[in-house]
Chain A
């Protein structure tokens, strides 16, 4: 589904990614962990080319994302993304947020887009909040709307960048529950998150990144429970206090 080969990303002199190789199979749930600044977000954002890779190759669903002839917008329709800070459109209701890309990108008639959108809100448990604006929703609800917005495009892959780290603790569960449901339905997912429970329950693989490279990967219970590399051990000892 996703092939990443020798991915490099530099911001000026700063070498954020220094040769990532990774293959994500259909229906696989991959959890990415690592210290702040290690390049996790940059890695995710390179997959749908929100950041242009400096070097290397990324193939998503058979499309070469680094080839200038590829219609990136078309591929992005297949790749949903959920952000740490939700990034809902504040001038639109929850329903309009979800329906917008269906209308403008998928070119659905308004009525059909809204019916799909309302179905998606129901899936994340927010059908009754359809006419609320983001500012009228809690953080957890906003993030679920954001997930519904991405799902509405019927993506083949979902990318999550720390989807619960901006949430109050009591709201983390509701978002993780939606994500676990997705994982069980067989969605291909790449999740940057330090939620160990989530990783162990539905993750097929955990990747530990540091300083722009993959240090260690394996079954989540192994990476979290029995890390082989010294840097992984020291990182986990810091987050698992």
Chain B
């Protein structure tokens, strides 16, 4: 049993700069990068998946199935210890492996978000665009994707929150994000309690701020097409 009286507040205060400047900052960087690049890549994969040309759609389906059908933890190990060292020999910086795994994983989930968004756009939009002489890519680019994008903004926000939490998995290859900082803190102080409670609360603060923001986005963009 542990009572509040024996909490070592001094440890928390001592490590707070490192938790924030190294841990929180790295976690945010990882998340912003993987969801940012994952959005571009995910849009591309969703277009492959929706393509009427079979080889393209197969590539899209296989990609999404692979990254959603295997554990992120396994993907991180796979890129760090197997794939990346095989492509570029030598010791691989874990931050790079971590970023690659998180980005490719995020792209698969975002591709599904975009696919649903694109398919939710009324068929008449594509027909109207095509009837004006636009090509399929033009109709996608100027008519369908802008509407789909607006519709999926809240879902992308939720993906950002999910990725913020899942990025903690790259601590297994020693990327020094927030969870890894907790491990270090715990190893150095020989105390598990203060580090892990603090780390949990820091994650919670971040996800709570973000989910408020997503709720705002849902109010702003969730209601379909009215842009008054």
Which of B95-103, B126-134, B168-176 forms part of the interface with chain A? B126-134
Given contacts A85-B124, A104-B142, A105-B138, contact A90 B227 (CB under 8 A): yes
Minimal beta-carbon separation of A188 from chain B (angstroms): 16
- Find the B residue at minimum CB distance from A136: B228
Residue on A nearest B133 in the bound complex, by CB: A77
Contact (Cβ within 8 A) A76 B130: yes
Across-interface contacts of A149 in B (CB, < 8 A): 132
Q: Which of chain A's residues have a CB closer than 8 A to the CB of B150?
A: 91
0 or 1 for each of A49-81: is its CB under 8 Å from B? (1 = yes): 010000000000000000000000110110111
**A-contact 0/1 string along B112-145, CB 8 Å cutoff:** 0000000000101101111111110010001100
CB-defined contacts of A153 to chain B, threshold 8 Å: 132-133
Which residues of A, 88-142, contact B by the 8 Å Cβ criterion? 88-91, 100-101, 104-105, 133-136
Residues of chain B with a CB closer than 8 A to A150's CB: 131-132
* Nearest-neighbor residue (CB-CB) of A100 within chain B: B142
Contact A105 B133 (CB under 8 A): yes
- Chain B residues with CB under 8 Å of A87's CB are 122, 124-125, 127-128
A198 interface residue (CB < 8 Å to B): no
B147-A50 in contact (CB<8A): no
Q: Give the total of A residues in contact with B, Cβ under 8 Å.
A: 29
The answer on a CB contact under 8 Å between B228 and A104 is no
Q: B131's contact among A48, A85, A133, by CB below 8 Å, is which?
A: A48
Find out whether the CB atom of B124 lies under 8 angstroms from the CB atom of A133. Answer: no
Please tell me if the beta carbons of A104 and B131 are within 8 angstroms of each other in the complex.
no
B146 at interface (Cβ–Cβ under 8 A)?
yes
A89 & B128 in contact (Cβ 8 Å cutoff): yes
Q: Smallest Cβ distance from B36 to chain A, in angstroms?
A: 23
Q: A90-B147, A135-B225, A135-B228 are in contact. Are A83 and B132 (CB under 8 A)?
A: no
CB distance from A202 to the nearest CB of B (A): 23
B143-A81 in contact (CB<8A): no
Contacting residues, chain A, for B146 (C-beta < 8 A): 91
Chain A binding site: helix, strand, loop or mixed by DSSP?
Answer: mixed
Give Cα distance in the complex from A73 to B138, angstroms: 11
- The count of residues in chain B whose C-beta lies closer than 8 Å to any C-beta of chain A is 22
Q: Please pick, from B124, B128, B135, B227, the residue contacting A73 in the complex, using a CB distance under 8 A.
A: B135
Residues in B whose Cβ lies below 8 Å from that of A88: 128
With A89-B143, A90-B227 already in contact, the answer to whether A104 and B134 are too (CB < 8 A) is yes
Bound CA span A134–B227, Å: 9
* B127 in contact with A83 (CB, 8 Å): yes
Query: CB of B226 within 8 A of chain A?
Result: yes
Task: Give the distance to chain A from B120, nearest Cβ to Cβ, in Å.
Answer: 13
A80 touching B131 by the CB < 8 A rule? yes
Chain B residue at minimal CB-CB distance from A134: B225
Q: Which residues of B163-186 are within 8 A (CB) of A?
A: none
Residue of B nearest to A48 (CB): B131
Most buried by B among A50, A87, A100, A150: A87
Find the residue from A45, A73, A88, A104 having the highest chain B CB count within 10 A.
A104
Bound-state CA distance A100–B130 (Å) is: 12
Measured between beta carbons, the chain B residues less than 8 angstroms from A73 are 130, 133-135
Q: Are B133 and A83 in contact (CB under 8 A)?
A: no
Contact B128 A77 (CB under 8 A): no
A-B interface, 5 closest residue pairs, ranked by CB to CB distance from nearest: A90-B225, A77-B133, A87-B128, A101-B132, A87-B124
| Cβ contacts A to B, 29 pairs, < 8 Å | A73-B130, A73-B135, A74-B133, A76-B131, A76-B132, A76-B133, A79-B131, A81-B127, A85-B124, A87-B124, A87-B125, A88-B128, A89-B125, A89-B128, A89-B129, A89-B147, A90-B147, A90-B225, A91-B150, A100-B143, A101-B132, A101-B133, A101-B134, A105-B132, A105-B133, A133-B226, A133-B227, A136-B228, A153-B132
Interface residues of A (CB under 8 A from B): 45, 48, 50, 73-74, 76-77, 79-81, 83, 85, 87-91, 100-101, 104-105, 133-136, 146, 149-150, 153
**Beyond known contacts A87-B128, A89-B147: 8 more, CB 8 A cutoff:** A50-B130, A50-B131, A80-B131, A83-B128, A85-B124, A90-B226, A105-B133, A105-B138
